[in-house]
Amino acid sequence: MTVTTPVAKTVDARGLSCPLPIVKTALAIKELATGQLIEVLATDPGSTKDFTAWTKSTGNVLVESSVDGAVFRYLLRKK
């Protein structure tokens, strides 16, 4: 899937533990409009499962998930 929409916001949660990556993302996504994309960078290994669970609870969509070394990158679309 090619993403044409530009990323509206980036949350840098590198070095932060649970629940901060989710909490910071939830606070940041409030500012966005439906359909806008938000990028999250995290180093918490638990964040992969947490973001999957979080998208289930909130209805936001996990568009892309990747790992670069120790940094996880999630691309989410606001519901």
Active site residues: 18
Candidate list 3, 18, 67, 71; residue touching other proteins; CB under 8 A: 18
Candidate list 4, 34, 57, 66; residue touching other proteins; CB under 8 A: 57
C-beta separation of 78 from 29 below 8 A: yes
Binding mask 26-55 for other proteins (x = CB under 8 A): xx----------------x--------xx-
Token pair of 17 as six digits: 């533990």
Burial track 28-55 (b if 16+ CB lie within 10 A, e otherwise): bbeebeeebbbbbbbebeebeebbeebb
Residues that bind other proteins (CB under 8 A): 15-20, 22-23, 25-27, 44, 53-54, 56-59, 79
